[in-house]
Chains A and B, each alone.
Chain A
Amino acid sequence: MKLKNFKDAEHLVRLAGAFAVVLVVFLLVRAQFVPKSFGQYGHYRGDALNELASKPIFFAGHQTCEQCHSDVLEVKKSGKHAGVNCEACHGPLAKHAEDPGSVVPQLPDTAVLCARCHEENIAKPKAFPQVVSAEHSGGVVCKTCHQPHSPLLQPGDKKS
């Protein structure tokens, strides 16, 4: 159909042109601002997964500790604390695992550390060993009698 058959059709062409220009500008701006990886796996930035996965690690994990400290593992595995991971008491030590020479971990204070788990509380499971530390030791530090890696008192151990 010839355009001249329409009377005063020229403004429609101009309008269509304007729409086309706006559409092209919109698509260009959108391409500029939407990250390349958006929509790679879903309605989110795919690169975010790698960014989150590459955050630094602070807890080395007990497998790493055991590579060097196999002697402690030997003591622990027959004791009551066999299931307690190293960093549960010693704190996050990935830096120590990376550079054992210069990053030397602080020895935890057993008076504070042991009470966190073993101080009596009515909400704790009944079977869990609990003491009222003031009555139990009267202020004597736990490791005077108990060896933290294998805490049950053995015959011949120091007793109060």
Chain B
Amino acid sequence: MITRRKLLMLLPAAAIAWEYVVAGTPEISPNYSRPEHWWGMLVDIDKCIGCGNCVRACAAENGVPEGYFRTWVERYHVAGWQQETPQVDSPNGGKNGFPPSKAAGGKNFFVPKMCNHCEDSPCTQVCPVGATFRSVDGVVLVDEKYCLGCRYCIQACPYGCRFLHPVKHTAEKCSLCYHRITKGLTTACCESCPTGARQLADLKNPKDPIHEYLKTHSVQVLKPHLATGAKVYYHDLDGSVR
């Protein structure tokens, strides 16, 4: 027999149980466990030929509007000893390749750039609403339904990797092709890179060749003095690269 007292005691428990029913269980990809991954990327400067395949592939895969870039390629020209003042150009983000260099001599090389998916990213720390965040698997993402378009994160990113979408008016950035890597595919830029200059790396997977590479090659991240915990590793990066 349910007395009034018993019913009153049962009600809070029932309310908590109902909360779980309403929330539902989150949809999880069958073979993908987020805590078992920690994503980054390896960029080999020695292999980049500045073809712009990555920029075009990224735009096609992610619907990046014309004139905006989630990834882009810069061409550096360092003449002699002036490390502090390299000449950098990136016509249309390198999307259509590069015209012949005007400058001869000195050091000339390409640097592909993108979000560094920092472990302690400045961009996620400034978001006032929790619309941008670092996921459990180490990818810095934007929740476009929650983003207000306040642009704080665009200012905070020391690598200039974010922009405001001209139509949606929300912050946009490289998602490391989250819709691909969670299904066992590589990113669009890595898939289309003809020389293997870009390699997706899972730092929590002991079988990933990245571990052997990091042990045996000299690598560097961009702006290490900012201690952002950047996870895009560059091999043979010149000191003039900013």
Contacts and interface: CB of A to CB of B under 8 A. Distances in A.
B192 interface: yes
Interface residues of A, number: 45
Interface in B171-197: 175, 178-180, 182-183, 185-186, 188, 191-196
Interface majority SS (helix, strand, loop, mixed), chain A: loop
Given A37-B23, A53-B182, A58 B192 contact: no
Contact of B108 (A42, A43, A45, A123): A123
A53 B143 CA distance: 12
Interface in A57-81: 57-59, 61-62, 81
Contacts of B26: 37, 40, 46-47, 50
A117 B51 contact: yes
Given A43-B133, A45-B146, A88 B23 contact: no
Interface in A27-48: 35-38, 40-48
Given A59-B57, A61-B191, A83-B195, A123 B110 contact: yes
B191 A52 contact: no
A80 B36 CA distance: 36
A123 B98 contact: yes
Contact of B109 (A49, A89, A123): A123
Interface in B64-112: 75-77, 97-98, 100-101, 103-104, 108-110
Interface majority SS (helix, strand, loop, mixed), chain B: loop
11 contacts: A37-B23, A40-B26, A43-B133, A52-B178, A55-B178, A61-B185, A83-B195, A92-B57, A117-B194, A124-B50, A125-B49
Given A44-B133, A48-B141, 18 more contacts: A43-B130, A45-B143, A45-B146, A53-B182, A57-B185, A59-B60, A59-B61, A59-B185, A61-B180, A83-B195, A84-B194, A85-B192, A87-B191, A88-B53, A92-B60, A122-B100, A122-B101, A123-B109
Interface of B: 22-23, 26-29, 34, 46-53, 57, 60-62, 75-77, 97-98, 100-101, 103-104, 108-110, 130-136, 141, 143, 145-146, 175, 178-180, 182-183, 185-186, 188, 191-196
